Structure 1
């Protein structure tokens, strides 16, 4: 027969939620930092295509 599982304590549940929210906050902070660096043009760790390169091909 099926046996009910043990209930997770509130402390354990809150710990799991806190860790999950902390991970999300750190990822959001990284994304914001990357976005800011791309906008300022100082980004060395992110490769992206700019419109300037496409305009050079049209002139030829």
Structure 2
């Protein structure tokens, strides 16, 4: 089984964690922006169809 030979420094650990958190933050911002544009009715980067059932 692979075992790390030396201890990872705090700076390296914190940089990796910050990078991981930043990815999630960017994804959340992008999805929120997309949701807002869909609510306004002006999506530019997303194509979707609105299906309305007329059998009622």
Q: TM-score range by the shorter chain?
A: 0.7 to 0.9
Unaligned 5+ runs, structure 2: none
Structure 1 unaligned blocks of 5 or more: none
Spell out structure 1 runs of 4+ moving beyond 2 A. none
Measured on the aligned residues, the alpha-carbon RMSD in Å equals: 2.1
TM-score of the aligned structures, taking structure 2 as reference length: 0.78
When the two structures are aligned, how many residues end up with a matched partner? 54
Larger fraction in helix: 1
**TM-score where L is the length of structure 1:** 0.74
| Higher Rg | 1
